Structure formats: C-alpha cells, structure tokens
Amino acid sequence: KQEVTQIPAALSVPEGENLVLNCSFTDSAIYNLQWFRQDPGKGLTSLLLIQSSQREQTSGRLNASLDKSSGRSTLYIAASQPGDSATYLCAVSWGKFQFGAGTQVVVTP
Amino acid sequence: GAGVSQSPSNKVTEKGKDVELRCDPISGHTALYWYRQSLGQGLEFLIYFQGNSAPDKSGLPSDRFSAERTGGSVSTLTIQRTQQEDSAVYLCASSLRPPPSGSYNEQFFGPGTRLTVL
C-alpha cells in the first residue's frame, strides 16, 4: 500500500533556528514529490516540487532533498521566522498525489 | 485568472439538500483535482480530470457525489442529499499537465469551500 508519513505531527522552535521537516513514503517508484504550506483556514501554497530524477530543490531559504531508495524527503527551512508558522504538507505522486497528515510548525519570537 | 478560484467560500446547508461547489482552474491547466479535508484529517483525494474526462474517480465516497468539467475549464462538484459527515473543506487544484509529467504536474490549490451541513 502506498502511504505517506510525516513525523513529528507538531514542532515548536525559537526564531532563528533551522527547521527540519521529514516525509517518508512507501514504494520508491514515485513520479515526483511536492511540499506545501497551509495557513489556518486557507488553501495550500506550493513551496517546492522535486522530480523523481532530482536529489534536491532549492528556493530562497527552503531546500528539499529526496532519497527515493530510502523513501524519504526532508524540507529544510533556514533561519526560521514567526511567519514560517504553518502546517507543512508533503505530497507524493505515484500517479495522483497522496498527502501526508502534515507537521504543524510554530516559530516563537 | 492569476490563480485557482473556488466558490462559494462558505456554504451552510441543511441535511438532505443538494449543493454545488465550483472551481475555476488556472487558465491553460489541463488537469484538475478535487480533495476533501475534514477537521483534523489529512487531504482525501476525490476525483481528477484530464480535460473534460475523469480518468480517476476512485476517491468519491458514495454515489451522492459527482463532478463534471466543461470546456476543459470550470468544474462543479455536486453532493446530493447532504449528510452531516459531508461537512469539510473542499479543495480544488490544477496542474499544467496530468500525472506523470515531471514539473508540469505541480499542483496549485484554490482557497477551498467550507461546507457545513446542519
């Protein structure tokens, strides 16, 4: 069965620390993997998409890595800010996307 | 438009009534997806369209749920005889191409429709 898991479910860090968010998936035969953030009461905002042939993708303070063989992706957010507080979702495509339950992040000033 | 839009943003209805939810994808996006997010739950895939056809309807929870897409653009999700367990946020997304298509499969989401069934 194809499943996506995000641990921990919640995370709190002081401002300025680097954030490390984990996503694991069964079945390494993925097409791509996408990271989103969701603010309370809002839709999802796309952060990064990593294709199956890529090892990492970067955008500003965000860096996402992909290791298909171990079924893992990690989202790094450098020098966290209170505005980074949100729920971060990982979605894996084996055809259609399947989502993890998300990691709720709080960055304290 | 600049992004995916959905209407209404909020819908309150009585149990047993029918509701229609609308999604306008990004112009030129051929693939369109519907998801449901219940309180405290993850995103649940409902259906996806390639053009006007739906290759994957596997996530529709019952025959009370149906969806259509016309002109390769606007999509409507219809829930008949609503039940309280249908209460959720319904999210629509679109991508330039359907899966699998590398970076063209990147999904962009609308703000959602919050459905409350009393």
What is the tens place of the pLDDT at every residue in B75-107?
999 999 999 999 999 999 999 988 777 677 899
Contact B45 A91 (CB under 8 A): no
Model pLDDT for residues A53-100, shown as the tens digit of each residue: 999 999 999 999 999 999 999 999 999 999 999 999 999 998 888 999
Residue B56 is predicted with a pLDDT of 86
Rounded Cα–Cα distance for residues B4 and A43 (Å): 10
A86 touches chain B (CB under 8 A): no
A89 touches chain B (CB under 8 A): yes
Band of residue B1 on the pLDDT scale cut at 50, 70, 90: low
Which residue from A minimizes the CA distance to B4? A43
Where b means 16+ CB within 10 Å and e means fewer, A48-83 reads: bbbbeebeebeeeebbbebebeebbbbbebeebeee
- Is pLDDT above 80 for B4? yes
Structure-token match 């990982």, residue found: A90
B70 touches chain A (CB under 8 A): no
Residue A53 sits at the vertex; the CA angle it makes with B32 and A55, to the nearest 5 degrees, is 110
CB pairs < 8 Å spanning A and B: 59
Per-residue pLDDT averaged across A19-46, rounded? 93
Closest CB to A102: pick one of B42, B48, B109.
B42
- Find out whether the peptide bond into A109 is cis, omega within 30 degrees of 0: no
Contact B100 A32 (CB under 8 A): yes
What is the DSSP secondary-structure string of B60-77?
--STTEEEEE-TTS-EEE
Rounded Cα–Cα distance for residues B98 and A83 (Å): 32
CA dist A88 → A6, A105, B1, B54, B96 (Å): 9, 7, 26, 29, 23
3-state secondary structure of A3: coil
Rounded Cα–Cα distance for residues A37 and A87 (Å): 6
Contacts of A22 (CB under 8 A, 6+ apart): A6, A7, A72, A73, A74, A103
Which residue from B minimizes the CA distance to A31? B100
